[in-house]
Amino acid sequence: IDTSIADTAELQTIEAKSRKLILDMKVEKYLKAITINGNRQQVQQDGIKKIEIKRKLINTQKVRLEYIIKVSNTGEIAGNIERIVDELPQGMTFIASESDSSWKKENGIIYSTDYAKNELDVGKSKEYKVVLQWDNSQSNFGQKINKASLQGVTNKLKYIDSNQENSNSQATVLFSIATGENASVIIELISV
């Protein structure tokens, strides 16, 4: 082999054709911060977050959730992702002005096609910010499950994603009515 083509796309193509390389894209979704009435609070990535709101303050609290969707190429060859999809939970509104600009909205989902034509190289990752606002309502409580997924993972050699199990991720927030006389809004971590 001519060493002048080492570490080039041509060499990767030669290697990919001579042995079956693994194409594997991974998505991780987590809640990074909760903002209540303009006060931002970082949160731990593990477990389910619980937000309790006093009944008399339900109509006045402005609660925003900042999620991160991290896409990583954990395989052995560069690849494309047709769509990175985020399913919006019912009772939550997408705030485009505070989210990454690559998102497009359609029928209860948002999606990005950043890597439909551009390849994500091996070992590289990209994070996308998604901000959702809780819709104030006496009936808008319970679990809010935000799901992210990768669709159409392939590459120029027509490989497909070898590990579909890590192509989906979700983050759960539980909204409930606060009892007791503590603060107007309580945030806590529920171990899972």
Structure tokens at 30: 């987590």
Give the other-Cβ count within 10 Å of 33's Cβ. Answer: 15
Percent of the chain, pLDDT > 70?
Answer: 83
At 105-128, the pLDDT tens digits run: 999 899 999 999 999 999 999 999
pLDDT tops 70 at residue 59: yes
pLDDT of residue 182: 56
- The DSSP H or E segment spanning 18 is helix 9-18
Write the burial class of residue 141 (CB in 10 Å: 0-12 exposed, 13-18 middle, 19+ buried): middle
Judge contact between 132 and 110, C-beta under 8 A: no
Confidence at residue 1, expressed as pLDDT on a 0 to 100 scale:
47
For residue 59, give every residue at least 6 positions away whose Cβ sits within 8 Å of its Cβ, in sequence order, or none: 136
pLDDT digit string (tens) for 66-94? Answer: 999 999 999 999 999 999 999 999 999 99
Q: What is the pLDDT of residues 24-55, one digit of tens each?
A: 999 999 999 999 899 998 887 777 888 888 88
CB 151 within 8 A of CB 113: no
Confidence at 16, pLDDT banded by 50, 70, 90: low
Residue 18 pLDDT level (bands cut at 50, 70, 90):
low
Please enumerate in sequence order all residues whose Cβ is within 8 A of that of 163, keeping only pairs 6 or more positions apart, or say none: 24, 26, 74
